[in-house]
Every structure is written in C-alpha cells, then in structure tokens.
C-alpha cells in the first residue's frame, strides 16, 4: 500500500531562517510524482512544489526547494529566508495511482504546522 | 479571477437536512474532484469526474451524490446530514485525468452540522 508520513506535527522557525519539513513515503512504483501543498489560515490549498521521481535534479521554486532521496523514499521541503506569510500547514502528497495511469488520486500526509516567528 | 470557486464558503445546518455545494472552474480543465478535510486536517479524496464521467468513487456513503452538468462544474449534494459530515469540502480540478497532474483547489466550503 502506498503511504505518506510526515513525522513533525508542528515546527517553529524564526523569520529569515531556514527550516526543513520531512516527508517519507512508501511505494512499489519506479516512477511517480511528489507534491508539497501549503494551507495557510485562509484554508486555501496551494501548490508549493512538484517533483518527478525520474528527474535527478531537486525541484526549486524561489525560496522553496526539495531534497529528494529516491532510495530512501524521502522528500523533504526546505524553506529558505522564512517569511511570516509562510506560516501554514504543509502537506506532502503522493498520487495513489500508477505513473501514467488514467486516474489521479492524491493521498496526503497528516501535515506539519509551521509557525514563522517574528 | 478565481480559478476554482465553490459556494457557499460557510454552511451551518441541522442534522437530517439536505444541502448542496456548488463548484465551478474556469481553467479549462477536464477533470474535477471533491476532497474532504476532517477536523484533524486529514484530506481524503471522495470523487472525481472527467468530462462529466465519474472516474473515482471512494468509499463514501451514498448520501453523498456528485453531479457534473458539464466539465466546468461539479456539484456535491448531501442528503440526511449527520454530525460526522461536518468538515471542509474542497473542490479541485486538474488539466486531465492522468496520474501526477497538479491539482488546483478551491477555497473550501466549511460545513457544520448541528
């Protein structure tokens, strides 16, 4: 069964510092996608970053980057120069569907609540 | 312009009532979804439609009935509401049904059953 685990229910970071949120997953597929979504207090689910497993290079979006370790099945999110607006719940997500499959069932981890302190 | 919009955003209703949540996307996507987020923030897929065709139907009570009049709209009707139905319901869409597509979410509809 495919699962997604986020072992840090809550984290705190000072403004301008760097923080890393961890995510591990389990799959028997050789190729797949991985996602990080954020959910600020407004509740909107917003895509932060997307990674394709066959790509060696870690995905980067401005201050957000991932450390993708395929062998270890680890997909951590690094936030550099943290800003107050980064305060949110962060969810790691993984499609419970075969790569290239005809349905797209995202399964989500339990989330990490990140608080950025001024 | 909101890409995925859903109404109402907040809904408080009594047990036993029937209610609907409407969703529209203006992204030109083929595939739409309903996700449920419970009080512990756990998100789980309920349904997915592709071009008006139901393609994902998770283990959801049959009191929940989705309807897609066209590929830009996906509504959720809930009969005989129960306390346990209290949750945030998210509508979402993706370009097509393929695995790995980015899913774009609406702002959520917060349903409280009293």
A71-97: pLDDT as tens digits:
999 999 999 999 999 999 999 998 877
Instruction: Report the residue from B88, B99, B105 with minimal CB separation from A104.
Output: B99
Q: Are B90 and B105 in contact (CB under 8 A)?
A: yes
3-class secondary-structure state, position B87: strand
- Burial (CB < 10 A; 0-12, 13-18, 19+), residue A88, is buried
Query: CA-to-CA distance for B9 and A109, rounded, in angstroms?
Result: 24
Average pLDDT of the segment spanning B98-108: 90
Contact criterion met (CB < 8 Å) for B48 and A99: no
The answer to whether the Cβ–Cβ distance between A104 and B104 falls below 8 Å is no
Pick among B3, B43, B50 to test the A interface (most A CBs inside 10 A): B43
| pLDDT tens by residue, B47-99 | 999 998 998 888 889 999 999 999 999 999 999 999 999 999 999 999 988 87
Task: Please answer yes or no on whether B100 and A32 come within 8 Å at the CB atom.
Answer: yes
> Which of A68, A25, A24, A66 has the alpha carbon at shortest distance from A48?
A66
Model confidence at A99: pLDDT above 70: no
Q: Which of A57, A16, A53, A19 is nearest to A38 (CA)?
A: A19
pLDDT at A98 over 70: no
| Residue linked to tokens 């909101």 | B2
Report residue B1's pLDDT band, with 50, 70 and 90 as the boundaries: low
Which residues, in sequence order, are CB contacts of A103 under 8 Å at separation 6+?
A97, B48, B55, B56, B97, B99
Checking if the pLDDT of A30 tops 70, the result is yes
Contact A100, B96 (CB under 8 A): no
**How wide is the angle at C-alpha B33 spanned by C-alphas B29 and B36, nearest 5°?**
150
| Mean pLDDT value across residues A49-71 | 92
């Amino acid at each position: 069964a495919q699962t997604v685990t986020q072992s840090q229910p809550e984290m705190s970071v000072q403004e301008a510092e760097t923080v890393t949120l961890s995510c591990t997953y389990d799959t028997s597929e050789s190729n797949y996608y991985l996602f990080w979504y954020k959910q600020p207090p407004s509740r909107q689910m917003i895509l932060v970053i997307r990674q394709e497993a066959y790509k060696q290079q870690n995905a980067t979006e401005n201050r957000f980057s991932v450390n993708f370790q395929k062998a270890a099945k680890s997909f951590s999110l690094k936030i550099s120069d943290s800003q107050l607006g980064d305060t949110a719940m962060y969810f790691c997500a993984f499609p419970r569907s075969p790569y290239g499959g005809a349905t797209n069932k995202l399964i989500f981890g339990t989330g990490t609540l990140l608080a950025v302190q001024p | 312009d909101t890409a995925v919009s859903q109404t109402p955003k907040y809904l408080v209703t009594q047990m036993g009532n029937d209610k609907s949540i409407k969703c529209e996307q203006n992204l030109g996507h083929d595939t739409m979804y309903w996700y449920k987020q419970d009080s512990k923030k756990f998100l789980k897929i309920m349904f997915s439609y592709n071009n008006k065709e139901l393609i994902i139907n998770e283990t959801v009570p049959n009191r929940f009935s989705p309807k897609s009049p066209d590929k830009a709209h996906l509504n959720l009707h809930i009969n005989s509401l129960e306390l346990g139905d209290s949750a945030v319901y998210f509508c979402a869409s993706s370009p097509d049904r393929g695995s790995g597509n980015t899913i774009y979410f609406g702002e959520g509809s917060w349903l409280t059953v009293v």
